[in-house]
Each structure stands twice: as C-alpha cells, then as structure tokens.
Amino acid sequence: MSHTDATHSNSHLQHHFVDSDQQFDSAKLGMWLFLVTEILFFGGLFVAYIVYRAWNPELFTMAATQLDTVMGGINTLVLIGSSLTMALAIRAAQTDNPSASIKYLASTVALAFVFMVIKYFEYTHKFELGIYPGEAYSFTGIDHPKAHIFFSIYYMMTGLHGIHVIIGIGIITWLIIKTRNGAFNSSYYTPVEITGLYWHLVDIIWIFLFPLLYLID
Amino acid sequence: MATLPVLKEYPAQEHPETHFLNHDKSLKSWLLTVDHKRIGLMYLASVIFFFFVGGVLALALRLELWEPARNFMDADTYNRIFTLHGAVMIFLFIIPSIPAALGNIFLPVMLGAKDVAFPRLNLASFYIYVGGALFTLYSMAHGGIDTGWTFYTPYSTTSGSAVISMTFGVFVMGFSSILTGMNFIVTIHKMRAPGLVWGKLPLFIWSLYATAIIQVLATPVLAITLLLLIMERTLGIGIFDPALGGDPVLYQHFFWFYSHPAVYIMIVPAFGIISELIATFSRKTIFGYWAIAFSSLAIAFIGFLVWGHHMFTSGQSELSTVVFSFLTFFVGLPTGIKILNWVATMYKGSIWMQSPMLYAIMFLFLFTIGGLTGIMLGALSVNIHLHDTYYVVAHFHYVMMGGTVFAFLGGLHFWWPKFTGKMFNELQAKIAAVILFIGFNMTFLPQFVMGSQGMPRRYYGYIEQFQTLHQYSTVGSWVLGVGFLLIFWYLVQSLRKGEAAPSNPWGGRSLEWMISSPMPPHNFDYIPVVKHGPYDYHQPIAEFRLGIDDGHSHTETKAH
C-alpha cells in the first residue's frame, strides 16, 4: 500500500485515487466534515450554557466576575496570533519554503504553550479559592445556590477546548518533523493545510467562549 | 498521455482464482488490511456475533416473562438483561449493521472506486468500534447496568451498576460511527466513476449518503451528552442531577436529539437495500427514482425536528408537545412515498421470487405496520394512553427488526454470492424466511394487544390476565430462534461446500455485478465508465460493463 513519506514527486498519491487533485479535495472535504462534528460536539455545551443562562441570568453575571478578563484577553490575542502563524506556515509550505514553514509552525506551537500556561495559572488560582467543578465546589463568594453549575459549564467548555489545544500541539509538532524530512512541497501540502483548518476552528471556539464566559458582566 | 483512452467492454472473469479473500492469506493481512471489503467483512462478523449475544439476552427475557412473577431470574438481573439487550442490539448491532458492514463492502464498488476515500481511517473506525465494544463487554462482566439503554438521569447517576464503562464504550463507538459517515460522504462526493452522475447512483448509495449525514450531525451530540453524564457521575457537575440543582429533562432533550435521528441511522440504509432488491427482482426501472432518493434526505432532515415525541409525558411544555407531535406526522410523508414507489415498481414487473425478494416483501408488510403504529404513537391523546407500554415495544420492534433486520437479511442473501463467491441453498433460505416471518409476528403482534390493554414495558412482574399473550410472545421468540439457527446452518454449509457463484446471479445492473464473485482485490482492473442508470433493464447488459484502461499493467496490480 502507498505511503506519504516516499521520495519521488508523485509518491504521496495513494493507489485508490486517480490524481493528486482528487486526493487533496477528498482530504479537505473530510476535514470540513470533521469540523462540523466538532461544532456539534461543542454545540451540546453551548446549549447547556444557553439553558442555564436563560434560567439564571443573575448567576451568570455574578459568576463571570470571578473570571480574569485580563488573562482571558491575553489568551485571545495569543490564539489569534497563533492562527496567523499557522496561515503563514501553510503559505510557506505552498511556496516551497520549508525552513520558513518550520519557523511558523514552531511559533504556533510556542503560542499554544503560552495559552496553556496562562490557562494553568487561571485554573490554579480558582482551585485555591475553592472554585472546583461540581460537588467539590466550596467557594462562598457568590451568593447563589447554583454557582457550582456555572463553573461546571466553565470547566467543561474551557477544559474540552484545552484538550483540543493540546491535540493541536501534538499534530503541529508532527508536521514540523515531517517538514524537516522534506515531506511537503508546492504539489503536496495537504496535512499542513487541513491541520490549519483544525487550528482555526480551535481558535474560533475560543473566540466564542471568551465573551460568553468572561465579558458578560 | 497522447492517445485518447479507448472505451471497451470488460466482461467479468467467472470463478477467478485470485480474489480479495485469498490474494493474501496471512492473519496480519486481515487485521491490518485497508481494503474496504475485508474491513466490511470484519464488521459483518462482529455485528453477527453481537446480534447473537443480544438475541440470547432477548430469549432469556421472554423466558422469564413466561410466568407473571419470578420464573428463573430475580428482578435485578432482569433489569440488567433488558438494558443489555437494548444497548447491545442498538449500539453494537443495528447501527453498524448495514452501513459499516454491507455498506463498507459495497459502497466503493457501486461507485466504481478502488476503495473508500480514507482507507486507513476506515480501519481505524473498525478498531474504535472494537475498543468501544470491549468497554461494553467489560461493563457486562462487572455487573452490567440496569438503567435501560437510554441511561436516563437521575437514576443513571445514582445506580450502583457499571454505568461509566458502558456509557464510555458507547461514547467511543460513536466516533467509529462518525468516522464511517465522514468517509462515506467524501467517497460519494469525490470517488464516483466517470459517467456516474448523482442521478445514476444506485439508491442504496443515496440511502447511505442520507445516513452518513445523520451520523455526522447527530452522533457528536450523543458524545457530549454521554461525556456530561460521565462527568455527572464522577464529579457531580450538577447539570442533569436534580439533587445538585440540575435538570433531568434536559438530559432527555440531549439524549433524544441524537437518539431520534439515530433510529433513521438504523432504518434509512434498510430502505436503500429494499430499493435495490425490489428493482432487481422486478426487472423493472425503479418507479420514482428521485422521489425515493430525496425522501431519504427528507427523512434525515425531518428526523432532527421530532425528538420531543419521546418526551410527551416527561413534563416538557404543552406547546412543545403539540409542535413535536405535529412535526412527527411529517416523517410519515417521505416514508409513505417510498412504500408507494416500491409497490409501483413491482406493478407489472417480472417478479422473481428469490429469497432476497421474499425478505423485501416481508419488509413491506412489517415495516408498514411499524410505520402506521408510529403515527398512532405520534398522536398526542393516544400517546398518553400508550406511553411506555408494550405497544411502544411492539412498534419499534416492527420498525427495527421487521424493518431493518429483515432488510439486512435480504441484503445479506442478495450480496452473499458476491462477497463469498458461493451460492446458498435457496429452498432452505425460503423456509427460514417464512419461519422468521411467522415467529416475528407471533412474538410482537400480541405485544400491541397487551400494550393497548395497559401492560407497561420493562416490568418484571405482571397481572395474570396478560399471561396468555406473554406466552404466545415467548413461543414466538423460540420460533424466531429456530429460524436464525437455520439461516446460520445453511450459510455455514454454503461457505463449506456451496456451489460457486457466477458474477451476476440475480441479473443486477449496478457495478458490483459487473466484476467477479468474489471481487478482485482492487475491485476494478480498469476504470469503469457508467452509461446507464442502475435500473435500466431495457439496455443491453454489455453497455453496463464499459471501461477504459487505468494505465496500470495488470501484473503490477497483482503484485500488491
């Protein structure tokens, strides 16, 4: 069976495709479909958010004051920046410039790490106050019987998003290794392109999470 | 290439010596295969195994219900067994049965492709399914679960049984279903042979397309629901648990937003098989091709708007109850269109009553009963009376078993010669089909009666006036068991010493019948070119075997 990591120019073409265009279009359509499933996956949590916010509007404005808008804002800028470096990495791969592509991919990974580190400080600060998800919640600063549910939703949404960032770090690191081995060029850069699509989705989900959770007070 | 490709006829080689089953015999070549046909066969073996497991559980349930009180198992065991029967049949058998097993084997072939778009992802889907299945088996070994297959909160957050491992298994299997759906959509969009425009796709492909859309759009919602349920049990996040301020009805909304569309994941591929069977065995162009194709998509769409009809008595608002009831009736339209078109296809056709066609006709009877009783259940006032009674149990067994399982068996018999290269004993097949039909009606018709008289579903004990009907039902389940054993027997005999199958035993016109039985390792050693629709029986058969050279020398193909 065919593999993507062989040497001559046409070697990335798998045996069941007629040509590279068909293979590229298929991969891209597949990725878009995957993104649709991701949106529906997060969609469940957004529905839970909408339902509980509609029932307890005062809880959401009170609880949002416990979230650190500055840290969240910095993280938003960090992720938008990482989307830019990702797009530049794709451009570099398309124009046969692997060394630039590696630099941009590495910056994307670095920014993703910055995001996770800031997230870590946010989480640990909350844990110190006793703001845990669910039954372990022991914070007394919010006078509302369902305060723990807001933070359950907060941790579910941001936690699931964080897992997606970590998966993204893994995939982009793999892309760096592949690029270093010379796997991608102007006629074959599908993995870089579709990873970029994934990374932009991770970014966009955060762009919805940030105002919905942090900026509502 | 300077020269234009030459269009010529490629007749199928009869009884080939090398085919996908034997071109490489090592165990590794099966376990690590990326060939859609082998993956489909591994799915087929798995779903048949789990159908057997679920079936034995069902026989145990029916046997327990022979007596109004305890027969041979206690109430806790009974609760676990009906839950496992539901979970195994739904998540391990019926959802993967037609798409992942028969669909995997035939979708690329019917499109004239060498494989699905993402063969390695296809193999991954299979192993994800196996992984999820292992979790559910682990759950069974650790006491099973007693919540019912719907895992309703708050009971599922407090029940002492192995809920986490079971729901995690279902969560994992969901990804298998999503990936298969994605793979099929991309394959249908991008891998069709030259000339195979959308209007010439076999209707089985259209049904798999509609199914794949539901799989991709609905299954992620089940995934997040089960994840939240697992978090509810481990961390007590309080979203669904009323003791922590949560709302159990919200769980039901989440669950049915997936699980109602999921019943169309189960039945729509069955519609596709029936379209193939009825056209092939009536020797007639299908009546209303576009009506059948688009009604599959219409069902997929409407299916997303009716989940609330599972919750008429749950305490959701009266307005939403009325709206969901109204929308539910709309599902009857595309379904009715299909039944009408199938019957119209048979009208003045040259009907050849082979066993696959026998199953298709039985499907028409049973599914119509299942569908019409569904309309009854969709009507609000009737539903309040029939809610959570055996009427519901009978309704969905008529749809799921009388519909999907009978269509699955029809498809299995129809394509059996194609993927095994062996014929089966037609007389025994007909006898088994009739036994199943009798056994099925004996099992489930009395349940309509019991349900309308007020016998609640899932109850361990019952009042004595229902005993006769319960006993009819139990005897019926034995008849069903005998029918399945007979099928198992003659199919094994067919594999051992069945007559070698010709490439086109039923005189079909779609692409899978234009290649050898069993299929060649790469399906086509040429690029098939499609000129006519798959039901154009009035066209000469030679024009269905056209193709152009694919630029590979055949010796190279064999070297793979």
* Predicted confidence (pLDDT) per residue in B28-69, tens digit: 999 999 999 999 999 999 999 999 999 999 999 999 999 999
B245 contacts in chain A (CB < 8 Å): 145-146, 148-149
- At B554, the pLDDT band (50, 70, 90 cuts) reads low
Whose structure tokens read 């998540």? B91
The mean pLDDT value for B365-387 works out to: 95
Contact call for B182 and A33, based on CB within 8 A? yes
Higher-pLDDT residue of A143, A41: A41
Best of B104, B157, B239 to disrupt the A interface (most A CBs within 10 Å) is B239
pLDDT value at position B114? 94
Distance between CA atoms of residues B273 and B266, nearest Å: 12
A138 contacts in chain B (CB < 8 Å): none
- Cα four-point dihedral sign B252, B253, B255, B258: positive
> Is B113's pLDDT higher than 60?
yes
- Decide if B548 touches A, using CB distance below 8 A: no
Q: What proportions of chain B, in percent to the nearest 5, are helix, strand and coil?
A: 70, 0, 30
Best of B224, B258, B526 to disrupt the A interface (most A CBs within 10 Å) is B224
Nearest to A66 by CA among A142, A161, A153: A142
> Is A1's pLDDT higher than 60?
no
CB-based contact B424:B354 (threshold 8 Å) = no
- At A124, the pLDDT band (50, 70, 90 cuts) reads very high
- At A217, the pLDDT band (50, 70, 90 cuts) reads confident
Nearest CA-CA distance, residue A174 and chain B, Å: 18
Provide the token pair at B434. 């009739």
Distance between CA atoms of residues B327 and B308, nearest Å: 10
Distance between CA atoms of residues B8 and B546, nearest Å: 5
> Is B556's pLDDT higher than 80?
no
pLDDT value at position A15? 83
Contact call for B185 and A29, based on CB within 8 A? yes
B191 contacts in chain A (CB < 8 Å): 16, 22, 26
Contact call for A148 and B244, based on CB within 8 A? yes
A44 contacts in chain B (CB < 8 Å): 220-221, 224-225, 228, 254
Q: Which residues pair with B456 in a beta bridge?
A: B389
Contact call for A136 and B235, based on CB within 8 A? yes
- Decide if B191 touches A, using CB distance below 8 A: yes
Nearest to A18 by CA among B129, B456, B282, B117: B117
The runs of H, that is alpha helices, within A65-189 are: 69-94, 98-129, 147-180
Distance between CA atoms of residues B111 and B202, nearest Å: 9
- At A136, the pLDDT band (50, 70, 90 cuts) reads confident
pLDDT-above-70 percentage for chain B: 98
Contact call for A37 and B185, based on CB within 8 A? no
Contact call for B117 and A30, based on CB within 8 A? yes
> Is B272's pLDDT higher than 80?
yes
Within 10 A of B461 (CB to CB), how many other CB atoms are there? 11
- Decide if A149 touches B, using CB distance below 8 A: yes
The count of CB pairs under 8 A between chains A and B is: 117
Q: pTM (2 decimals)?
A: 0.94
The mean pLDDT value for A91-99 works out to: 95
- Decide if B118 touches A, using CB distance below 8 A: yes
Looking at the partner chain, which of A18, A43, A152 has a beta carbon nearest the beta carbon of B238? A152
DSSP count for chain B of H helices, then E strands:
19, 3
DSSP B405: I
Provide the token pair at A139. 């914070």
- Decide if A135 touches B, using CB distance below 8 A: yes
Provide the token pair at A125. 């600060």
pLDDT value at position B5? 81
Write phi, then psi, for B547 (nearest 5 degrees).
-170, 170
B107 contacts in chain A (CB < 8 Å): none
Distance between CA atoms of residues B183 and B80, nearest Å: 35
pLDDT-above-90 percentage for chain A: 80
CB-count burial class (<10 Å; 0-12, 13-18, 19+) for B282: buried
> Is A8's pLDDT higher than 60?
no
> Is B544's pLDDT higher than 50?
yes
pLDDT-above-70 percentage for chain A: 95
> Is A7's pLDDT higher than 70?
no
CB-based contact B76:B13 (threshold 8 Å) = no
CB-based contact B114:A16 (threshold 8 Å) = yes
Distance between CA atoms of residues B68 and B71, nearest Å: 8
DSSP B543: G
- Decide if B546 touches A, using CB distance below 8 A: no
E strand or H helix at B548: strand B546-548
Distance between CA atoms of residues A135 and A27, nearest Å: 43
- Decide if B331 touches A, using CB distance below 8 A: no
Interval B503-528: pLDDT, tens: 999 999 999 999 999 999 999 999 99
Higher-pLDDT residue of B477, B159: B477
- At B2, the pLDDT band (50, 70, 90 cuts) reads low
Nearest CA-CA distance, residue A155 and chain B, Å: 10
pLDDT value at position B423? 96
Chain B, 6 to 35: residues with Cβ < 8 Å from chain A are 34
Nearest to A64 by CA among A131, A163, A162, A115: A131
CB-count burial class (<10 Å; 0-12, 13-18, 19+) for A44: buried
pLDDT value at position B555? 43
DSSP B271: H
User: What is the residue-averaged pLDDT of chain B?
Assistant: 94
How are beta strands B546-548 and B527-528 bridged, if at all?
A: antiparallel
> Is A2's pLDDT higher than 60?
no
Provide the token pair at B505. 């035993």
Q: What proportions of chain A, in percent to the nearest 5, are helix, strand and coil?
A: 75, 0, 25
Within 10 A of A70 (CB to CB), how many other CB atoms are there? 9
- Decide if A133 touches B, using CB distance below 8 A: yes
The mean pLDDT value for A61-89 works out to: 95
SS3 A22: helix
